[in-house]
Structure 1
Amino acid sequence: MKTTYIRLSIATALLLGIYSCKKQEATAEGYGEASATTDSTAVISSDSISSVATMNVKDKQFIKTADVNMEVKDVYDATISIEKSVQELGGFVTHSNLKSNVISEDTYNTSNEEAMLVKKYQSENSMQARIPTVKLGEFLALINDKKLFLNSRSINAEDVTSNIKYAELEGKRIKKTSENISQLKTNKDKVQLDDENMSESNQQQFANMDVTDNLKYSTVDIYIKEPKIRIAEIAITNTQSIDDRYKFDFIYSVKSAFVEGYYLIQRIIVGLIVIWPILLIGAIGLFLYIKRKSARKIQQNISK
């Protein structure tokens, strides 16, 4: 029984990420229909897009991904256009990080009250979109029209047909193992085996859902940037003239110095009051010292 459990665990671990038998059949049918639609799309985009994006091979299933790096005239306008195209094709954007990298920033005073802030910057955006696989070629053709210069583009089609068929066979074996476990005498070991088998089955179903999603939707990573530096001119207040206006006030400074001096005298008096015992002891010591010195002087005069 332990040998059966070990084999069950190893097989189930290998099956993570692989399509299960029932869902494989459904997906295969759906993918066959989708591939038929892809053929018409391929005619539209065959001149500008790699055949990998629209590839359709009988009895084969592919998980497709794409990575596009290009330069565009205006990053913001291109981003809006790409996001709109994604929605129109039935896809969705999972990530979009549009930002402007400031190269330099300078302020030029144009009058006593006004100034001009000049920023030199370059915009870029890093996006990720999920596109229905049957529309991948059409989407790549749409974003290809936005480019000024294509830095790089990679399109991948991973053949998962054999994995799906293997998963079908393993699914049948796991089902048979589950039936064998159910025939065992109920005890602590059977409960543990059944619980672990169910847990691994749930994990496999989760992985199957992920594969189903990847077959239906292709992931496209897009990086766009502007080839030239842009300049932004922003009207602002001349802060330097304001600083100069209030930098130094003689009358106010004299008044403040007088007040600070008055507070300083108060602090000195308070400090003397705090140490009055020390001052008293010092005064008594000084008095005794002077008295003793005077007495010694008088005695010396008498001796003469």
Structure 2
Amino acid sequence: MKTTYIRLSLAAALLLGIYSCKKGEAASSDLEAYANTDSTAEMVSDSISSVATMKVKDKQFIKTADVNMEVKDVYETTVSIEKSVQELGGFVTHSNLQSNVVSENTYNTSDENAVLVKKYQTENRMQLRVPTERLGELLTLINDKKLFLNSRQINAEDVTSSIKYAKLESKRIEKNSKNISTLKTDKDKLKLDNENMAEGNQQQLANMDVTDNLKYSTVDIYIKEPKIRTAEIAITNTKSIDDKYKFDFLYSAKSAFVEGYYLIQKIFVGLITIWPILLIGATILYFARKRKTVKKHPKTEA
């Protein structure tokens, strides 16, 4: 029974190892497909940057961009950029639009009404993923929205050697799996097979990350409005309401009378609570006076 269990466990481990290797080969084949794409030496010049559209034979680049600029309206620009990203086949991974309040004041316009005036400045931090071949188009659309460009960085990281190394690692893991399968079945073999499978999974994950970063470029955008905006919000005049109910003499006098009555009760209850102390004090006072009276009598007789 025990031997049968060990054989079943070994068979399952070998099947998982073969499955992992095949998955690793699939991820590796994706990298190989990117590495073997026909990319003749080309340098496309546009109004944005040649880095965004750069192609070099036998080279693969992971491209990223970082844009910092001022726009007329942050909200409208955010909606426009999100729409453009979707049309280009990309997606938004982060968008944090917020208004930073510079000052806030309330002005009373009548006994009932008032106006809250807020001065604020709106900004947004966004992160986008767009197909790498459409990166130049997206940067062109973003550039059209600017009032003033503070900074722009475009990076192209050469990962050609990393892709080749990933292929070699996949072959090494596959070879290890074949070598492990020829070993005698024991605990050490199961341990080696499990470690090799885990290493294969890690390599597969790394291959998928590189493939995804080759396919989609990451763009970080920070936009803000150059001037402070104001917002006028109609509210209720709370000061007049506070003045209206600030003090009522009759109600306050009644409350004071009731509180005084309860205070007398508390004092009386307190005296009852400490009656032993009062009794002891009265006894001591009685004997002290009696003693003084005894002392005075001899002097009088003398």
Q: Tell me the TM-score range normalised by the shorter chain.
A: 0.7 to 0.9
1: CA distance, partners of 2:295 / 2:31: 122
- The residue aligned with 1:125 is 124
1: CA distance, partners of 2:86 / 2:201: 32
- Classify 1:282/1:142 alpha carbon distance in 2 versus 1 (closer, same or farther; 3 Å): same
1: CA distance, partners of 2:96 / 2:157: 28
Mean CA deviation greater in 58-67 or 279-288: 279-288
- The residue aligned with 1:203 is 202
- The residue aligned with 1:137 is 136
Give the SS at the match of 2:147: strand
The yes-or-no answer on 1:51 pairing with 2:58 is no
2: CA distance, partners of 1:134 / 1:57: 13
C-alpha deviation, 1:157, in angstroms: 1.2
- Classify 1:298/1:172 alpha carbon distance in 2 versus 1 (closer, same or farther; 3 Å): closer
Tell me which amino acid in the other structure corresponds to 2:134: K
- The residue aligned with 2:110 is 111
Give the SS at the match of 1:204: helix
- The residue aligned with 1:253 is 252
- Classify 1:166/1:273 alpha carbon distance in 2 versus 1 (closer, same or farther; 3 Å): closer
Equivalenced residues, count: 276
**Percent identity of the aligned residues?**
75
The 8 Å contact of residues 20 and 171 in structure 1, kept in 2 or not, is answered as no
2: CA distance, partners of 1:208 / 1:122: 43
2: CA distance, partners of 1:28 / 1:231: 54
- The residue aligned with 1:212 is 211
- The residue aligned with 2:172 is 173
- The residue aligned with 1:9 is none
Structure 2: tracts of 5 or more residues without a match: 1-25
1: CA distance, partners of 2:273 / 2:151: 80
- The residue aligned with 2:191 is 192
TM (norm. structure 1) is 0.83
Give the SS at the match of 2:254: helix
C-alpha deviation, 1:215, in angstroms: 0.8
Give the SS at the match of 2:55: coil
Tell me which amino acid in the other structure corresponds to 1:286: L
C-alpha deviation, 1:263, in angstroms: 0.9
- The residue aligned with 1:72 is 71
C-alpha deviation, 1:235, in angstroms: 1.2
2: CA distance, partners of 1:282 / 1:24: 99
Give the SS at the match of 1:57: coil
Q: What per-residue deviation string (whole Å, max 9, x for no partner) do you get for residues 55-94 of structure 1?
A: 1223322111111111100001101111111111111100
The 8 Å contact of residues 60 and 159 in structure 2, kept in 1 or not, is answered as yes
Alignment of 1:150-169 (within 5 A): 150-169=149-168
Among candidates 5, 27, 31, match of residue 34 of structure 2: 27
C-alpha deviation, 1:284, in angstroms: 3.2
2: CA distance, partners of 1:21 / 1:280: 98
Mean CA deviation greater in 173-182 or 212-221: 173-182
Q: What per-residue deviation string (whole Å, max 9, x for no partner) do you get for residues 67-123 of structure 1?
A: 111110000110111111111111110000001111111111111221111111110
Give the SS at the match of 1:270: helix
TM (norm. structure 2) is 0.83
The 8 Å contact of residues 132 and 216 in structure 1, kept in 2 or not, is answered as yes
